[in-house]
Amino acid sequence: MILYFAPLACSLASRIALYEADIPAAFQEVVLSTKQLKAGGDYLPINAKGQVPALALDDGQVITEGPAVLQFIADQAPDSGLAPPAGSLARTELQGWLNMLASELHSNFVAFMHPASPPAAKDFARMRITPRLDLLEQHLAGRETLMDGFTVADAYLVTILGWSEHCQFDLAQWPALAAYRARMRARPAVARALGEELALRAAA
Ligand SMILES: N[C@@H](CCC(=O)N[C@@H](CS)C(=O)NCC(=O)O)C(=O)O
């Protein structure tokens, strides 16, 4: 497998999931501004959307869209607990979390990161993000993880929370979320993935 990623982008969640599942993979960095591979070559023939993550399987098939990639990785290691069994109610709950994170949080954070985003877009995004952070704050008060045990939804949320200060969301306002982020970052797989991508970002 090859994970196509950009340092500290949403693809970090897929790297975390691979490390949590102990699945060997290769990693190819994508320069998102040019849609070129850092190692050379065009990315668009691999993923026409030009976005990360994409996961290329050994038979050449490519999976795109973070929530799909995350669940595929989890399903390769069913004993990892990264996702409940397909078809279970708990799996539906996981999909609910992944969808909420993708559509309500991740996509709104883009307004703070895209260079062409006007101030009004940031204001609108803040109005959409703040109540979701409030909801997560309530949910995570007194809980270790989003569901019972670490799942790929936690890999996704800890990735998104890594953008918060850069996007002018000071987590001091959401103490349970701040504690959750610190707890997740202390997990060996998360610390390894984050450390590697921070080093890549620093070297860029
Ligand atoms: N719907 C996609 C969105 C992925 C996404 O937004 N990736 C960002 C990095 S976090 C990206 O590749 N941005 C470059 C672009 O959109 O051109 C998914 O869930 O995987």
The pLDDT, as a whole number, for residue 168 is 86
- Would you state the pLDDT for residue 84? 98
Ligand 1 interacting residues, C-beta cut-off 6 A: 6, 9-10, 32, 50-53, 65-66, 102
Q: Which atom of ligand 1 is nearest to the CA of 30?
A: 12
Query: In this predicted structure, what is the pLDDT of residue 7?
Result: 97
166 pLDDT higher than 90: no
Determine the atom of ligand 1 nearest the C-alpha atom of 69: 20
Q: Which pLDDT tens digit goes with each residue over 117-141?
A: 999 999 999 999 999 999 999 999 9
Query: Phi and psi dihedrals of 63, rounded to 5?
Result: -105, 135
C-alpha torsion sign, points 23, 184, 137, 160: negative
What is residue 104's DSSP assignment?
I
Average pLDDT for 168-189: 96
Q: Write down the pLDDT at residue 165.
A: 87
Q: CA of 77: how far to CAs of 1, 19, 90, 136, in Å?
A: 14, 11, 17, 27
67 Cα nearest atom in ligand 1? 19
Return the ∠ at Cα 54 (arms to 71 and 57), rounded to 5°.
Answer: 75
| Helical segments of the chain, H only | 12-21, 66-76, 89-100, 107-113, 119-140, 152-161, 175-185, 188-203
Output the pTM of the full model.
0.97
Q: Which of 12, 52, 72, 107 to mutate to test the pocket of ligand 1 (most atoms within 8 A of CB)?
A: 52
- Ligand 1 center to residue 156 CA distance, Å? 13
pLDDT at 47 over 90: yes
Q: What is the mean pLDDT of residues 148-171?
A: 95
User: What is the reported pLDDT for 115?
Assistant: 87
The residue to which tokens 């320069």 are assigned: 31
* Separation of alpha carbons 105 and 98, rounded Å: 10
Residues in the chain: 204
- Tell me if residue 188 falls in helix, strand or coil: helix
Q: Give pLDDT tens digits for 55-106.
A: 999 999 999 999 999 999 999 999 999 999 999 999 999 999 999 999 999 9
Quick one: pLDDT band at residue 176, thresholds 50, 70, 90? very high
Q: How does pLDDT run across 11-32, given as a tens digit for each residue? A: 999 999 999 999 999 999 999 9
**What separation in Å is there between the alpha carbon of 160 and the centre of ligand 1?**
12
- What is the CA(142)–ligand 1 centre distance, in A? 32
Contact 55, 14 (CB under 8 A): yes
Give the Å distance between the CA of 123 and the centre of ligand 1: 21
Domains and CATH numbers, the chain: 2-81 (3.40.30.10), 89-189 (1.20.1050.10)
